[in-house]
Structure 1
């Protein structure tokens, strides 16, 4: 019970810092011209902005708490909890936009909170120390890479929501893979000395993937149509992480008949609330972006 409580606390702390990182880093891209959405110019511009570094620091803090949560809990529980970042991002974004969160948004927020609570209480994941053979991991990573590259190639030929959606899918998939690699890294650190783990490619692959995912996420934010990209990103990531956890780590969810029905209903409610809240978050951000780019 104490371990489960720690998982929830660490995951919620991760969600808070991730929300701050999302909102702050989005602000850093408001006045970047659209034609530089996926380019070295945008990266160079952001690297010169203290606001972007502040948002990145918050995102890194969120990742640290996520790692702590994964060290004590299952991907099946931790990743859905991170969706609660929307509960913190929406009021923060609304405050910065000098607007109030609508009553409808608060109702969706309550639904998301209740659904998450039900999911955490009823989810009984079976966690193993088993990691799939290297051959399987390479195959999974190869498939993920093909999907991500395909999404990026599709995005560079589009604009607006047609660019934002494939980028959001790619980002969600990449961060799902980051979560799985983080879980594996924490398991290795629990079993082996840090020096031995640092001598393997795992931590460096994780850092590289995290940096690439963050930069691509920034491009997704900048692409506009955040009412579509934000919920897409937040729905794809936990789904990808859980599925990858099943294939790579062998995690499963144990539930009896009525628990399975309730869990399914909770997941559907979480998804609907995430999409609704993501659209509200996107609406606030797009309004700010339009104001920043208006001469």
Structure 2
């Protein structure tokens, strides 16, 4: 248990990040569904900016990012990002409360599977940090793979509607969030080594701000597109996958897996993916059911639920 104690701050901060990320996702989803379907991205953002509830959800998302940065300052991407998948464990009861619904036994079962899989991944994998100084060739290759994918998804999404549009935007969001996680890890390391001077003299923090603005716009567009049963699982599964891959390729992070533990790790990862997709689909379907109410009535229900 020495490794767990050494990484306790990263683990606790990662779980707190997951909780606040869940609050941000659930609340902003509800508000985005009150915007008329014929609004484009700019009109959607204008409507959302006037909603106090949307700002409350955004503050939740910001709190989640702050805890994520704290976790990354004390642990690797391979440790922190899979922990963020547990946001579904928090989103499930929160969404049920806002929707005035009950959580099924099947969903509780998947929640137990996800919790056990996360524990096995952390204990068996014992993720190790890399060099934190991304080599130019690896970073170039990462950008060459991720940037075109985001552009293709955004362009294709403009020509589609409903479920397909939500899926394409969700892929773009997952990639952008994965890139943000890597840049956050780099920024926390630069600050730890060189303070504010060391941080502001590298391009990472400025790219981080630009990506944060971009992902806010794209994510709200995905929430507004409907078909949330398609977008939620992709976002929540895709972000850690992208971040972990970039952590391995760019930062040289790795898992300390020995012998038969590798098999347990593979099973745990498979269970994490299956449970996340199942829970995300159920949570999103409940969100879609709420969105069938008239916008005014739906928003009243949300305010009443939050007050209670």
Corresponding residue number in structure 2 for 1:181:
183
Q: Distance in 1 between the 2:98 and 2:47 partners?
A: 22
Corresponding residue number in structure 2 for 1:6:
9
Q: Distance in 2 between the 1:57 and 1:271 partners?
A: 28
Corresponding residue number in structure 2 for 1:266:
268
Select 1:45's aligned residue among 23, 44, 47. Answer: 47
Corresponding residue number in structure 2 for 1:77:
79
| Structure 1 segments of 4+ aligned residues over 4 angstroms from their partners | none
Q: Does the Cα contact within 8 Å between 1:30 and 1:292 map onto a contact in 2?
A: no
Corresponding residue number in structure 2 for 1:105:
107
Shift of 1:196: 3.2
Q: Distance in 2 between the 1:166 and 1:267 partners?
A: 24
Q: Does the Cα contact within 8 Å between 2:99 and 2:290 map onto a contact in 1?
A: yes
Which TM-score applies when normalising by structure 1?
0.96
Deviations 1:41-62 (A, max 9, x none): 1111111111111111110110
Corresponding residue number in structure 1 for 2:306:
none
Query: Alignment RMSD, CA only?
Result: 1.5
Corresponding residue number in structure 2 for 1:35:
38
Residue 293 of structure 2: SS of its match in structure 1?
A: helix
Deviations 1:199-228 (A, max 9, x none): 332212101101211221111111111112
Residue 278 of structure 2: SS of its match in structure 1?
A: helix
Residue 7 of structure 2: SS of its match in structure 1?
A: helix
Shift of 1:8: 1.1
Corresponding residue number in structure 1 for 2:303:
none
Q: Does the Cα contact within 8 Å between 1:226 and 1:286 map onto a contact in 2?
A: yes
Q: Does the Cα contact within 8 Å between 2:34 and 2:296 map onto a contact in 1?
A: no
Q: Does the Cα contact within 8 Å between 1:129 and 1:187 map onto a contact in 2?
A: no
Shift of 1:195: 2.9
Shift of 1:286: 0.3
